[in-house]
Amino acid sequence: MNKTISAIVGIIVIVGAAFAVQTYQDARYMLKEDHRGFGWLPVGTIVAWHPQSESDAVPEGWATCDGTNGTPDLRGRFLAGDHPELHSTGGGELSDELDIQVIGTGWVNHDFKQHPVGGPEKGAPWLSQRWHPLVSKGTIPRIDLVPPYHEVIFIMRVE
């Protein structure tokens, strides 16, 4: 009886091991065959790609994110996490102009020194104070909002 159980267990182990080996080989083959499209990444995955030379073609199964082939146009863009207010259209500017207007409600006081006719310091100078309204308005020139960067090509898995 023990020999029969041992034989059955042995067959199960051998069959199980054979199945495991075959499954492993199938998985390796599928990964190898689908490596061109990086099968472990879902279709729609976007990655930053830096070709080694300008003549390098986009890998098979991938497309440049330039607004064609169902890809978003990411040329000159940064990626940001999804937010309901963006509606997948993105936003932002590379530079901006700030218009600052400050209109004061107070007054500015300064001393005003006058000299009588006849040249500087002729006679006793008089000193008076003048009050003027403070009105300040200005525009700051455009400023660069882009941090240091390195250019890459965004590509998306399409198959």
> Could you tell me which of 102, 107, 105, 108 has the C-alpha nearest to residue 138?
102
- Higher pLDDT among residues 35 and 116, named by residue: 116
Q: How far is CA 116 from CA 110, 111, 122, 147, in A?
A: 20, 16, 7, 59
Half-sphere exposure of 131 (CA within 13 A, CB side): 3
**Is pLDDT of 44 > 80?**
yes
Give the structural domain span for 6: 1-33
Domain co-membership, 112 together with 74: yes
pLDDT band at 159 (very low <50, low <70, confident <90, very high): confident
Domain co-membership, 123 together with 136: yes
Domain co-membership, 121 together with 53: yes
Count up the domains in the chain and report the number.
Answer: 2
**How much is the pLDDT for 130?**
60
**How much is the pLDDT for 13?**
46
In this prediction, residues 100-116 reach a mean pLDDT of 56
Identify which of 48-62, 78-92, 129-143 has the greatest average pLDDT.
48-62
Domain co-membership, 54 together with 71: yes
**How much is the pLDDT for 90?**
62
Encode burial over 52-79: b for 16+ CB neighbours within 10 A, e otherwise: eeeeeeeeebbbbbeeeeebbebeeeee
**How much is the pLDDT for 144?**
74
Domain co-membership, 95 together with 153: yes
- Higher pLDDT among residues 17 and 131, named by residue: 131
> Could you tell me which of 61, 70, 63, 56 has the C-alpha nearest to residue 37?
61
Domain co-membership, 22 together with 43: no
**Is pLDDT of 86 > 90?**
no
Domain co-membership, 23 together with 57: no
